[in-house]
Chain A
Amino acid sequence: NAGVTQTPKFQVLKTGQSMTLQCAQDMNHEYMSWYRQDPGMGLRLIHYSVGAGITDQGEVPNGYNVSRSTTEDFPLRLLSAAPSQTSVYFCASSYEGQGYGYTFGSGTRLTVV
């Protein structure tokens, strides 16, 4: 089925560990974004990309890296996990741009202990 696929669905990390959250879409969307969702704070933009080879920072980029080598994939890397990064992470893609008809993945629930 067409859409945005995120893996893993759940992950527990120890403080200081690194990991990569995977995001792939098969809709040929140019625009992709990563958000985190925390209770009482709404969704916040971490990084985004307007096409292969182009990325930029969002509202809360510290502690995260991204790259966009292909149109389909947009992985999010946690460099050295901290408890403050415990959250639910969503990847989203769009044909037109940020917000417009976003298709979201089902999320990755990350716990850092």
Chain B
Amino acid sequence: EDQVTQSPEALRLQEGESSSLNCSYTVSGLRGLFWYRQDPGKGPEFLFTLYSAGEEKEKERLKATLTKKESFLHITAPKPEDSATYLCAELNRYNTDKLIFGTGTRLQVFP
């Protein structure tokens, strides 16, 4: 069964302390890997789509990368406003109506 696993579940960083979040997927025939940010009490906000291994995308302090088995969300010199839950999701080429979400990594950045 297709599965998306995110780690760690929670991450506490000091402002400026760079780190990475992991998203492992098990589907064969990946059509797309997506990253979203979710603030408390709000809906997820779209960040990136990655389509193939080796692809990278950047937005401000965030960079998403993709390998054949996992995706990383690198956070460089984070600020307190980067605190949120980060979700990844995969779309299967053979079952395109089923977007599988991970349970997220809750990131807290302290000044």
A interface residues (Cβ-Cβ under 8 A, vs B): 4, 40-45, 48, 56, 58-59, 90, 92, 97-107
Contact = CB atoms under 8 A, between A and B. Distances in A.
Given A4-B43, A100-B34, A104-B44, 6 more contacts: A43-B44, A98-B91, A99-B34, A101-B49, A103-B46, A104-B45
A59 B100 CA distance: 9
A56 B95 CA distance: 13
Given A56-B97, A58-B97, A98-B97, A42 B46 contact: no
A42 B103 contact: yes
A40 B102 CA distance: 9
B36 to A, nearest CB: 8
B98 A42 contact: no
B43 A42 contact: no
A54 B98 CA distance: 17
A113 B32 CA distance: 39
Nearest to A57: B97
Interface in B32-62: 32, 34, 36, 41-46, 49
A40 B85 CA distance: 13
20 contacts: A40-B103, A41-B103, A42-B87, A42-B100, A42-B102, A43-B101, A44-B101, A45-B99, A48-B97, A56-B97, A90-B43, A98-B96, A98-B99, A99-B32, A99-B89, A99-B91, A101-B49, A102-B44, A106-B41, A107-B42
B104 interface: yes
Contact of B101 (A4, A42, A56, A106): A42
Nearest to B96: A98
A101 B46 contact: yes
B98 A45 contact: yes
A48 B4 CA distance: 21
